[in-house]
Structures are given as C-alpha cells and as structure tokens.
Structure 1
Amino acid sequence: MAEQHTPRSLIVSLYGAYGRAPDGSPMPVAALIRLLAVLGVDAPSVRSSVSRLKRRGLLLPGRTAAGAAGYALSDDARRLLDDGDRRIYARTEPKLSEGWVLAVFSVPEAERHKRHLLRSRLGRLGFGTAAPGVWIAPARLYEETRNALERLELSPYVDLFRGDHLGYAATAEAVARWWDLPAIAGLHEEFLAVHEPVLRAWRTALAEAGPTADGPQKSAEDAYRDYLLVLDSWRRLPYADPVLPAELLPDDWPGRRSAEVFAALHELLRDRGAEFVRPFLSEG
C-alpha cells in the first residue's frame, strides 16, 4: 500500500528536521514553497496547510532578517518537536524492570467529547487498553503523557500511576491483549517495504561513487527528498508502537529492523539533505 504524505505533515517534518533556528527566526515562505515543491506539493497546498498550522497556534508569522515574510515555530510547537525527538531518535532498548504507567480516567457524561479526546490522545501517545477507563504504557512515557494532558487541559479527569504487572497472566500474554500487535507489526512491514530499498540504493550509490569517481551518483536534493519522506513516515511509528521490551515481543518482531533502517537513513541523509536546504533558508 502506498504511503500517504500530507502537505501539513510534510511541513511539520520539514520544520522538525531543518527549521528549528536557534534564534527562533522564521523560515521564509518562499523557502517553504520551494522545498515542498521538491516533494510534489504545490504552492496553494503549502499556503493552506500553513494557515491551518497557524490557526492551531503552531506557526507564528514574522519577518526574516532580510525582511521576507516567514513563519516561526511557537513555543508549543517547539515543545512538541522536542518531545517527538525523544521518541523518533531513541536508540535505547527498553527494560521490563522499568515498569508501567497507568492512566485511569473518568469523564462526566455531560463532557463526553472530552472522553473521546482523552482516549484519542492516549492512543496517539502509545497507550494500550488494560480495561475500560484504564490505559497502560511503558513507564518512560510518563513525563510526555503528563505534559500532553496538561497542555490539552485533560489532567483533571485522569489519575496517573506507576507500577509492575504482577499477574495473573504472563505479561507477554497480557501485552497481546493490551495492544494490537499484528496491526503494529503491519505498520513496520509497510515502512520497511518502502524505505529498506531506499537504504540499499543509497548504500550502493555511495559505494560505487567512491573517492575516485567523477561525482556522486545521488545529489543533496536526492538526500533531502528521501530523508524528509522517511522522517515523515517514521515519526508516526514510535507513537503507534510503544516500543515494548524485547522479551514481550515475538522473535521476528519487525520493529527492530525498521528502527535500524531509519537510524541508518538518518545517519546517511540528514546532513546531506541540509546542504540542499541551507541556501533556501539563507535567501530569506
């Protein structure tokens, strides 16, 4: 199944990868349009998506040092990207001994819309369902969960607990009930089907270019395009997949391989892509 990259999602990925200026300066609108054009997004779609992100308070209008119109990240957007970094680029193996965080919630019937929002947000943070009104996730997600619930003003309806699973079923059996592991594995397989060939192609091209070749077979523009697409695909996966300890997962769990593919492409492409992006940013 072909991957779907929406203009709004690609803009978020672009800011996450290359648009976090240390001084908070805005990215020129012209740069946004030209950089998204490389990925097949037309100017009206960019402007429409930027407007939606502006309404959500994630992008703020401003002027570059040269006086060009642009958009900078809001403080909330920076916090969201920083939280995302801890998941997207995490390379540590989780340990079962770290335990779990439980979210127990109760929402009055008169505010049932908040119940839906709460369930949706916990699901997007990677929580599984242990019982009605009781959601569970690895304990390392506590701080991010607390921040997200406070930001959405949902914390009055939730109690958070830390703890260990003491039975009666084996934890691996319980995990298979709390999360839809086959569906999560399917997301990893889809990611691998698209991006593992990209990694092989880059490794082949770089090996063939070598120090004596006339020039690289792949350009900085190629690196930028491939990196933004893999980042845009990957950054959803650490939320759909809570990244459980290895002893709770099948031996052939594809999440390990997809994490290795993303890490390899990040190392190969991120800085090469920056060489393509940099001139567009400096023009503003």
Structure 2
Amino acid sequence: MADGAHPRVSRRREVSHASARSVLMTVLGEYVLPRRAPVWTSTVVEVLALFGVEEKSARQALSRTAAEGWLRSERVGRRVRWCLTAPGHRLLAEGAHRVSEFGREQGDWDGRWLMLFVTVPEAKRDLRHRVRTRLTWSGFGSPQPGVWVSPDTRRQAEAARIIAELGVESPVMSFVAEFGSIGEVDDLVARAWDLSDLTLRYQDFIDEFSGVRPTTGQNALHAQTLLVHEWRRFPFLDPDLPSVLLPENWTGAKAAELFHSKHHEWRAASQRHWDDVLA
C-alpha cells in the first residue's frame, strides 16, 4: 500500500465490530490506563470522532461502559470527567498485558497436552456458549464435543477457575498426557483450531498496516489505535500454539513482528498527540 496516514479497511474483514464502545475500550487501554488520571468527555468525543463515531454514540458508549462498572463519572462544574474503576483498571491492565505479550517467541514445547472433558447439557445452551467462549479465549481447542485440548499444561489452573466461575455442575475431568502412536497430531490440530481462517485474518492485518506511515501526531494516534484495536482480537482467535504445531512460514509470526514493530514506532507520537488533545 502506498504511503498514507490511515490504514485501509479490507473488505474481507468484518469491520462492523468496530463499534463506539469497542473503540472506546481500545482508547481507554492505550491512553487512559497508563496515565491513571481522569479524562474529559470532550476529549473522548474528539478522539472517537477520528474513527467516524458521532458525539451521541461516543456519549452513549461512555454511559454504557460506566453502567457495566468499568468507569465512573465525576462532575466538575458543567463538565464531566471519567475515571477507571478498580475492576475497569484490572480488566484493561490484563488486556494490555495480553496484547503486548501475545506473539512473542515461546520456549521449547515439552510435547505434553492438557485435556479437559467438559459436558454441559443441551438444555443449558447459554452455559454451553459461555464455556466455549471462555475456554476458546484461553487458547483451548475442541476436536470433538465435550473435549478440549491445549499444548500449554500451565492453563490447567485457568481452566479450573473458568469452570468454577461459570458454575458447571457436570463432572469435569482433566488429563496431562503425550500424543500416542495412533493418529496424527496434525489431524488433532486441524480439528481443534481453524488455522486456515486465522491465516487469512493475519494476512489481512499485514496488508492493512504494513505500508502505513503516519505523518502527523493525529495520524499516529489514529494508526496506533486501529493497530491495537485490530490486534487485540488475535489472542481470542489464535491459540498461540508452539511453532512445531504450526504451518511452515506461519503468517501469524510475520503479523506479530509487524505489530510489535509498528506499536513501538508509533507510540511516542500517538501519546504526544493524546496529551495535546487533553491540553
């Protein structure tokens, strides 16, 4: 892509997810969280306008985020400013850590698998959905109904916490084992995770940001925010498998290198522009 201030929007990506609230959460995590200081409504409105979010939608996003317990408002004269609540700070800090560390090089894999057997009755569809969502977010794949696997055995404690928090009553069992002599590991990976779709998403990310070269502070803030906004979906989509389980010349590794490089390159200018807007 030729030099430009703003990333293009690929038609292959579903961009409707970039709602006002979703962009707001990215902005809060990237600019408000590090400063530990309140932010004026006018600042949020001005920044979200860079992404085509109208003032009414920006204000609604703030109100909804506050209603969910992540923000609280303070009135100063006729103006309103917003602070992160303790749960909001914790949520964004965990998300920021996950985004910044995702895609970094892993150590050698010991070849062991963590297996979970989780059965939720068909009648409890909402619970089934929440179990699937939470385990997928934690990197587990499901090669067949009721069976979840991960090559990271350290996730056993996280899985136990998810099961407890969701109140799954059916017997849940876990095993740590190596793959046997029957079958192929590649077949297990293919059944548990859709890496072909993930490859396309990573390639779209590369195409979208590789040629972007911000020329102003505002451009840098716009590009940096979109970069993080798009990248923060990948920890949910990508199980972060050991390299030995991934296709050769894995596109995800190239995308991760691009993300970390651009994030570092654009950080100073985008943060300076945020301070300019605050001022």
Q: CA RMSD in A?
A: 2.7
Note the 1:119-268 alignment, pairs <5 A: 119-139=132-152, 140-142=154-156, 145=159, 153-154=166-167, 159=172, 161=174, 163-167=176-180, 168-198=182-212, 201=213, 218-268=215-265
The alpha carbon displacement at 1:190 in A equals 1.1
Question: Cα–Cα, structure 1 residues 129 and 78, in superposed 2: closer, same or farther, change >3 Å?
Answer: same
Question: Cα–Cα, structure 1 residues 62 and 142, in superposed 2: closer, same or farther, change >3 Å?
Answer: farther
Give the gaps of 5 or more residues in structure 2. Answer: 1-9
Question: Cα–Cα, structure 1 residues 43 and 56, in superposed 2: closer, same or farther, change >3 Å?
Answer: same
State the partner residue of 1:116: 129
Deviations 1:28-63 (A, max 9, x none): 111110111122211111112222222322222235
State the partner residue of 1:71: 82
Note the 1:98-109 alignment, pairs <5 A: 99-109=112-122
State the partner residue of 1:208: none
CA contact (8 A) 1:192 1:258 kept: yes
How far apart are the structure 1 equivalents of 2:33 and 2:194? Answer: 35
CA contact (8 A) 1:184 1:240 kept: yes
How far apart are the structure 1 equivalents of 2:117 and 2:35? Answer: 38
How far apart are the structure 1 equivalents of 2:114 and 2:35? Answer: 34
CA contact (8 A) 2:65 2:71 kept: yes
Question: Cα–Cα, structure 1 residues 169 and 109, in superposed 2: closer, same or farther, change >3 Å?
Answer: closer
Which moved further from structure 2: 226-235 or 100-109? 100-109
Which moved further from structure 2: 174-183 or 73-82? 73-82
How far apart are the structure 2 equivalents of 1:43 and 1:123? Answer: 35
How far apart are the structure 2 equivalents of 1:29 and 1:149? Answer: 38
CA contact (8 A) 2:33 2:92 kept: no
The alpha carbon displacement at 1:101 in A equals 3.7
The alpha carbon displacement at 1:148 in A equals 5.3
CA contact (8 A) 2:113 2:150 kept: yes
Deviations 1:119-169 (A, max 9, x none): 12323333210321122234254555555555x534656747362432233
Is 1:46 the equivalent of 2:58?
Answer: yes
Note the 1:88-103 alignment, pairs <5 A: 88-90=99-101, 91-97=104-110, 99-103=112-116
Q: Percent identity?
A: 28
Question: Cα–Cα, structure 1 residues 54 and 230, in superposed 2: closer, same or farther, change >3 Å?
Answer: same
Which moved further from structure 2: 269-278 or 119-128? 119-128
CA contact (8 A) 1:118 1:154 kept: no
How far apart are the structure 2 equivalents of 1:276 and 1:185? Answer: 34
Question: Cα–Cα, structure 1 residues 171 and 21, in superposed 2: closer, same or farther, change >3 Å?
Answer: same
Question: Cα–Cα, structure 1 residues 43 and 100, in superposed 2: closer, same or farther, change >3 Å?
Answer: farther
Is 1:86 the equivalent of 2:83?
Answer: no
Question: Cα–Cα, structure 1 residues 237 and 122, in superposed 2: closer, same or farther, change >3 Å?
Answer: same
How far apart are the structure 2 equivalents of 1:239 and 1:158? Answer: 26
State the partner residue of 1:210: none
CA contact (8 A) 1:103 1:158 kept: no
Which moved further from structure 2: 80-89 or 180-189? 80-89
Corresponding residue pairs, total:
262
Question: Cα–Cα, structure 1 residues 70 and 260, in superposed 2: closer, same or farther, change >3 Å?
Answer: same
TM-score normalised over the length of structure 1:
0.81
How far apart are the structure 2 equivalents of 1:160 and 1:263? Answer: 38
TM-score normalised over the length of structure 2:
0.82
Question: Cα–Cα, structure 1 residues 241 and 156, in superposed 2: closer, same or farther, change >3 Å?
Answer: same
